Amino acid sequence: MPQALRGEAEEARILVVSAEWETSPMTLRSPSFLDLETLLSQAEYHDINVPVAQDIVETTVSKRSGGGKVGLGALALTGSAGSDVQFQSTYSLAPREKATVSKVIDGLIREKAVNVNPAGDSALFKDALVEIEGNARITAASVMSKVFFIFRRLMLDRDIDDLNELANLDVDEPDVAQAIQRVYLQNELLPLPMLLEITGTSLPHKVYINVRPDFFINEASADRLEGDLRVLGTVYRQIPDGEFGVTDEWILHGWEFMMRRIMMAQIQDDLREVIQQLGRIGLDVPDDDVQAYITGPAVVIDAIALY
């Protein structure tokens, strides 16, 4: 090939590589939340090469003590999924493991398995894999879930079996105040899923994120749930315009199914009472925030990773 043509071909190749780099930047991510098993399952399903030689090992869970372990050779992480675990489990992610996770996510995006910042309803369907960026905040539904968890624990301690007694629990009572203090002042991490709202996204409707309790990284990671973040996850629920989505799986998490149905039938009155009591100790909940229902149009994303 003549030298001039060879030079033009090389220049064209550089321009193509540069264009690909601009459209698909690769970054080292530092997740605050990571469901590693689901991430690697997505990689396997979409034929993404995971940059280690070993296969995924079977997840094992000890119901009472948690201690579930999911690993990929050197990428072995210890988490917890036991139903009797008192606190949210956390684990550490070493720098080399961060690189592996980042490469897996980059591979999914490069292969167009992930819809990045979708802009319309046509891009959303059940279980669709998406990455959405915006400003996150914890909703009132998750604030309420902590209160109802505390009340449920107090009802068990006091051997109360009448739901009407729920309205009689007073935040000024010593054991109630102490339980609330542990959660809101000592940052006790409860085994509860959280519902976040993300604003400033490219979607035309409300976006909520379901964050399960067992996949936080590092002890302070639960404090990194608000502010600017990106979420990689799957579409969990879509709520059409004019319809309402019940929030009992967050507000009443851990309550028996029939109890949840009974309480949700009257929970709006109970929520007003709880909100009034929280206001007395300085925890104000906006009236227009998510409480008993999510108002459509909205989409709920089941989080795989937050970074």
Question: What are the per-10-residue average pLDDT scores of the chain (307 residues)?
Answer: 50 40 64 93 92 47 42 38 42 73 94 92 87 92 83 74 60 73 68 93 94 81 82 96 90 84 72 63 60 89 96
pLDDT in the model for residue 143: 79
pLDDT in the model for residue 102: 93
pLDDT in the model for residue 254: 83
pLDDT in the model for residue 169: 62
Using DSSP, state whether 38 is helix, strand or coil. helix
Answer for the pair 101, 235: CB distance below 8 angstroms, yes or no.
Answer: no
CA 32, CA 231: separation in Å to the nearest integer?
Answer: 10
Using DSSP, state whether 97 is helix, strand or coil. helix
CA 293, CA 272: separation in Å to the nearest integer?
Answer: 14
pLDDT in the model for residue 185: 65
CA 36, CA 212: separation in Å to the nearest integer?
Answer: 13
Using DSSP, state whether 172 is helix, strand or coil. coil
In the block, which residue shows the tokens 């019940």?
246
pLDDT in the model for residue 58: 45
Using DSSP, state whether 37 is helix, strand or coil. helix
The three-point CA angle 250-162-150 to 5° equals 40
DSSP codes, 199-223: ES-SSSSEEEEEE-TT-EESTTGGG
pLDDT in the model for residue 141: 86
